[in-house]
A and B are shown apart, each in its own frame.
Chain A
Amino acid sequence: MTEAAGHVAAGETLLAVERISLRFGGVTALNDVSFDIRRGEIRAIIGPNGAGKTSMLNVINGFYHPQRGAIRFHGENLARMNPGFAARSGIARTFQNVALFRGMTTLDNLMAGRALKMKRGLFWQLLRHGPALDEEIAHRRVVEDIIDFLEIEAIRRVPVGRLPYGLQKRVELGRALAMEPELLLLDEPMTGMNLEEKEDMCRFILEVNSQFGTTIALIEHDMGVVMDLSSRVVVLDYGRKIADDVPDAVKQDPAVIAAYLGVAG
């Protein structure tokens, strides 16, 4: 994986959302939320159901456009993001409900993730033999590395629609990794997994972060995972930010406890 020659050094702010407000008709999904994500860290976004976590990721990705606020990425201020631009800027994403291409195999899904990096035009694609095939093979090598890394060799040629949920999530992670992203957004990557699968997933996430330097923002419900993996945590509740600190501090924050367990008495 290449080191981005970007102007953001490790530890500096890679992406910041500033005063984001998002409304759907009468429902306020996000209310004046600001936080930042630093290069090289693993940032967790947590909160009870309906807190607006997925909406936040969707805003960062460009699916939802906030009514107010801005996104600062690579030092540039953007009023709104759009999905294509996010992809080209190095932001990759997985979804709560697994957004894989069900008609295609694992291998094809991962190769699809290389779409942005494949340059050969229509003419060479029509011929296939020659530059287009060379390009395919080069990218196949990269994808095989990812398949190796995620230990999914056995299901290379299985149509992903047939895979069990846990494996689908792994393949989706693979597709996101195939984009060689700077920033990886993971929406509940561990949901529906048993303990072993969760441990594997944690291992992958940590390795991606440590080996490739990928910045990660993840939404997760499992507190154990959050505490173990992340360097900083943002807590949302009813669309507002109620805490933003290191895991240990957040764990003991009374506002956070109240949000999850309800106020006593």
Chain B
Amino acid sequence: MHFLYLVFIDPFVQMGMAPDLLAQTLWEGLVSGVLYALIALGFVLIYKASGVFNFAQGIMVVFAALTLVGLYAAGVPALLALALTVAVMFVLAVAIERLVLRPLVNRPDIILFMATFGLTYVLVGMGELVFGGDTKQMIAKQLYLPSGAIDLAMLGGRVTLQKLDIAAAIIASVMVAALAVVFQYTRIGRALRAVADSHRAALSVGISLNQIWVIVWFAAGIVALATGIMWGARSEVSFALEVVALKALPVLILGGFTSIPGAIVGGLIVGLSEKLFELYWGPLMGGGTEAWFAYVVALIVLLFRPHGLFGEVIIERI
């Protein structure tokens, strides 16, 4: 009986008793949700345009952040380092297209997916080799990202909003809006949508697949860079980020693999629910539930909707 109370009643009582803590947790969940969404966004971009599920998106985030920080540590001024990192991500996109995608064109999706596993290992190894495996500090100040916090007295207590988090949320929203606009209204966006629909049809109207893929992987690289900067600034830059990036998978399950707004919605759901569960139900289980909660939620969703919340149901034609 007491157990039932603990699980079903007490957490809500706690929420009510300290609404400011609830608000704080909601805010934190929102922010981490935004960051998950950014990672998911990178996946969605690549998947939409090439049908490849880029498992290496997470490591691209780390790699981008490492490059930036590494260049700065080598003496390059911050903004120049940023520009150079962008260039590096472009070169990376070209290399991936040339060395991984092109040889594997027309192979089953599962092969391409496994190739991105290999890509992950290559980038991890290269990153550690070039930049070293210890954790580093993101050069947030030098990039003119705000620091400090805003304290709001509300709900009977205090809610602290880190200015960096606000900046992150704004930047992420701007990126999403920009990408959505590009996809919908520009020539390139139309070409991307065409390629996502059918490679062959796109080829037959003269769209260069190789160019599109470079553009898409580059765009994903930029998104990865932004994510890396934000995330690195909030905690630090290390390879542990790789595993965090895996959490984009449940985000994609919830939001669908091909929907940009879906990635946002999915990310927010995951971020919020994770933090809430950990704070109010975590203590019952010894804590640390953020390691698996999102995956279990995704699993439960899949049991009811095997193609994800917003996924397309594919009817097999026999």
Instruction: Write the chain B residue with the least CB distance to A24.
Output: B315
Q: Is A193 an interface residue (CB 8 A)?
A: no
Interface size, A (range): under 10
Which residues of A are found within 8 Å of B318, using beta-carbon distances?
Answer: 54, 58, 63, 95-97, 99
State A127–B318 Cα separation when bound (angstroms). Answer: 37
Instruction: Write the chain B residue with the least CB distance to A58.
Output: B318
Which residues of B are found within 8 Å of A54, using beta-carbon distances?
Answer: 318
Interface string of A22-58 (1 = CB under 8 A from B): 0000000000000000000000000000000010001
Tell me the smallest distance from the CB of B28 to a CB of chain A, in Å: 44
State A95–B318 Cα separation when bound (angstroms). Answer: 7
Tell me the smallest distance from the CB of B318 to a CB of chain A, in Å: 6
Tell me the smallest distance from the CB of B315 to a CB of chain A, in Å: 8
Instruction: Write the chain A residue with the least CB distance to B317.
Output: A97
Interface string of A52-87 (1 = CB under 8 A from B): 001000100001000000000000000000000000
State A54–B317 Cα separation when bound (angstroms). Answer: 10
Instruction: Write the chain B residue with the least CB distance to A63.
Output: B318
Tell me the smallest distance from the CB of A249 to a CB of chain B, in Å: 32
**Which of chain A's residues 95-111 have a Cβ closer than 8 Å to chain B?**
95-97, 99
Tell me the smallest distance from the CB of A63 to a CB of chain B, in Å: 7
Instruction: Write the chain B residue with the least CB distance to A187.
Output: B318
State A58–B315 Cα separation when bound (angstroms). Answer: 14
State A234–B318 Cα separation when bound (angstroms). Answer: 22
Which residues of B are found within 8 Å of A58, using beta-carbon distances?
Answer: 318
State A58–B316 Cα separation when bound (angstroms). Answer: 12
Tell me the smallest distance from the CB of B133 to a CB of chain A, in Å: 41
State A97–B318 Cα separation when bound (angstroms). Answer: 7
Tell me the smallest distance from the CB of A79 to a CB of chain B, in Å: 22
**Which of chain B's residues 105-157 have a Cβ closer than 8 Å to chain A?**
none
State A207–B80 Cα separation when bound (angstroms). Answer: 80
Instruction: Write the chain B residue with the least CB distance to A95.
Output: B318
Tell me the smallest distance from the CB of B312 to a CB of chain A, in Å: 14
State A115–B318 Cα separation when bound (angstroms). Answer: 21
Interface string of B281-318 (1 = CB under 8 A from A): 00000000000000000000000000000000000001
State A99–B316 Cα separation when bound (angstroms). Answer: 12
Tell me the smallest distance from the CB of B317 to a CB of chain A, in Å: 8
Tell me the smallest distance from the CB of A8 to a CB of chain B, in Å: 28
Tell me the smallest distance from the CB of A99 to a CB of chain B, in Å: 7
Tell me the smallest distance from the CB of B164 to a CB of chain A, in Å: 49
Tell me the smallest distance from the CB of B106 to a CB of chain A, in Å: 15
State A159–B265 Cα separation when bound (angstroms). Answer: 46
Instruction: Write the chain B residue with the least CB distance to A99.
Output: B318
Instruction: Write the chain B residue with the least CB distance to A97.
Output: B318
State A96–B317 Cα separation when bound (angstroms). Answer: 10
Which residues of B are found within 8 Å of A95, using beta-carbon distances?
Answer: 318
Which residues of B are found within 8 Å of A97, using beta-carbon distances?
Answer: 318
State A172–B318 Cα separation when bound (angstroms). Answer: 14
Tell me the smallest distance from the CB of A161 to a CB of chain B, in Å: 12
Instruction: Write the chain B residue with the least CB distance to A64.
Output: B318
State A54–B318 Cα separation when bound (angstroms). Answer: 9
State A63–B315 Cα separation when bound (angstroms). Answer: 11
Tell me the smallest distance from the CB of B45 to a CB of chain A, in Å: 31
Interface string of B258-276 (1 = CB under 8 A from A): 0000000000000000000
Which residues of B are found within 8 Å of A99, using beta-carbon distances?
Answer: 318
State A38–B318 Cα separation when bound (angstroms). Answer: 26
Tell me the smallest distance from the CB of A85 to a CB of chain B, in Å: 18
State A58–B318 Cα separation when bound (angstroms). Answer: 9
State A223–B318 Cα separation when bound (angstroms). Answer: 24
Instruction: Write the chain A residue with the least CB distance to B318.
Output: A95
Interface string of A215-229 (1 = CB under 8 A from B): 000000000000000
State A96–B318 Cα separation when bound (angstroms). Answer: 8
State A229–B256 Cα separation when bound (angstroms). Answer: 50
Instruction: Write the chain A residue with the least CB distance to B315.
Output: A24
State A255–B186 Cα separation when bound (angstroms). Answer: 53
Tell me the smallest distance from the CB of B23 to a CB of chain A, in Å: 45
State A63–B318 Cα separation when bound (angstroms). Answer: 9
Tell me the smallest distance from the CB of B316 to a CB of chain A, in Å: 9
A and B contact pairs by CB, cutoff 8 A, 7 listed: A54-B318, A58-B318, A63-B318, A95-B318, A96-B318, A97-B318, A99-B318
Chain A residues within CB distance 8 Å of chain B: 54, 58, 63, 95-97, 99
Chain B residues within CB distance 8 Å of chain A: 318
The 7 residue pairs across chains A and B that have the minimum distance between CB atoms = A95-B318, A99-B318, A63-B318, A58-B318, A97-B318, A96-B318, A54-B318
